[in-house]
Structure 1
Amino acid sequence: MPGTVSGRAIACGAYRGPLRRAILRWKDHGDEECDGPFADMMADALLSSGLLASDPMPVTTLVPAPSSPRSMRERGRWHMRNVTNSLARSLRRRGMDVDTAALLRTTKTSGKSVQMHGAAQRSRRLQGHIVIAARPPYPRNVILVDDIVTTGTTARQCAQALNAAGIHVTTVICLAHTLRAGENTDD
């Protein structure tokens, strides 16, 4: 994952089957009871990655990927902020020193990300439209929290905005990633 200190993103699973259906219901049908279980899945993935194993671990801030104002109006919530707060609680229960900050927002974008065809279209949709929404001082180390990594465009644009503000993005944690043609997660 370009723009991150680790150079990678962590996903809980592939965006297919039961995980895909659960994420879609959670995002678009208000299944907020999934916040806790999804947060626990992401905490497990982060802890098993070894990225939080430094001793002592620096305070890390979890930053939710932004949703467009239109998506938040349609859903009636910022689903990523809610699950990020749940993730912080899950990690704190496990002894991690984390907090959260809604540092990013989107400005005028057209269409939904899922309606874009291909990485180039997704990239053009977001180019320059993810910005820092908070005032300094900024946290030094952050983990970006997203729901689905399809082409990586959203995560890269978020990392670019954070890096430009002097914020180090350790990694990206997401619920699921889409498989590339021919990719099999059963290996």
Structure 2
Amino acid sequence: MYGIRGFPPILVVPVPSSAESKRARGRFQTKTLAKAVAAQLRVCVGEAVYADVLDLHGVSSKSVVASGRDDRAVRIRGRVRVKRDADLRSPVILVDDIVTSGATIRECAEVLHRHGADVVAVFTLASVPLRTSGDGCL
């Protein structure tokens, strides 16, 4: 399948949520966002495909429960996996609902890259501002 001008379609990939988060919310909200992004890309630029290719294993708590950036990175490290038979020979846009430390996005992008994907952008609905020392410095 090819998109505009012979290029492969853009894969729009939702960042996975823990099973606990999906149960608590009653939905997989990044899936809904990713489908909307893919639909709008099809209207604006050509072929875009929703691609649910990532799983999250062994994570029982929400990322916002982890106290700091390092804790969040440790919580997610090695927990994101590419689903079997995922074809990742297209540019990828990752979609997440909220970015706190960036650890989950970073882990997802690294896992996709190791499986041959080219993550070209990240779309997020919201982000938590970085804390500063009070003088504007991180």
TM over 0.5: yes
* Residues 1:140 and 2:90 are matched in the alignment: yes
Please state how far the C-alpha of 1:96 moved relative to its aligned partner: 2.8
Aligned to 1:88: 38
**Which amino acid in the other structure matches residue 155 of structure 1?**
I
Unaligned runs of 5+ in 1: 1-53
Please state how far the C-alpha of 1:175 moved relative to its aligned partner: 0.9
Specify which structure has the higher proportion of helix.
1
CA contact (8 A) 1:61 1:139 kept: no
* Residues 1:161 and 2:130 are matched in the alignment: no
Measured in 2, the distance between the counterparts of 1:58 and 1:138 equals: 10
CA contact (8 A) 1:57 1:97 kept: no
**Which amino acid in the other structure matches residue 106 of structure 1?**
L
Percent of aligned pairs sharing the same letter: 34
Measured in 2, the distance between the counterparts of 1:157 and 1:137 equals: 19
Please state how far the C-alpha of 1:56 moved relative to its aligned partner: 7.2
Unaligned runs of 5+ in 2: none
* Residues 1:77 and 2:77 are matched in the alignment: no
Please state how far the C-alpha of 1:57 moved relative to its aligned partner: 6.1
Helix, strand or coil at the partner of 1:143: strand
Give the one of 43, 55, 59 matched to 1:105.
55
Length-normalised TM-score, structure 1: 0.63
Please state how far the C-alpha of 1:181 moved relative to its aligned partner: 2.5
Q: Deviations over 1:21-64 (max 9, x none)?
A: xxxxxxxxxxxxxxxxxxxxxxxxxxxxxxxxx97765211000
CA contact (8 A) 1:150 1:177 kept: yes
Query: How many correspondences in the alignment?
Result: 130
Kindly report the root-mean-square deviation, in angstroms, between the aligned alpha carbons of the 2 structures. 2.1
Please state how far the C-alpha of 1:111 moved relative to its aligned partner: 2.0
* Residues 1:65 and 2:15 are matched in the alignment: yes
Please state how far the C-alpha of 1:70 moved relative to its aligned partner: 1.6
Aligned to 1:152: 102
CA contact (8 A) 1:110 1:125 kept: no
Measured in 2, the distance between the counterparts of 1:55 and 1:174 equals: 28
Instruction: Give the 4+ runs in structure 1 shifted more than 3 A.
Output: 54-58
Measured in 2, the distance between the counterparts of 1:63 and 1:134 equals: 15
Measured in 2, the distance between the counterparts of 1:177 and 1:55 equals: 34
Please state how far the C-alpha of 1:92 moved relative to its aligned partner: 1.5
CA contact (8 A) 1:102 1:134 kept: no
Aligned to 1:51: none
Please state how far the C-alpha of 1:69 moved relative to its aligned partner: 1.3
Q: Which moved more, 1:137-146 or 1:148-157?
A: 137-146
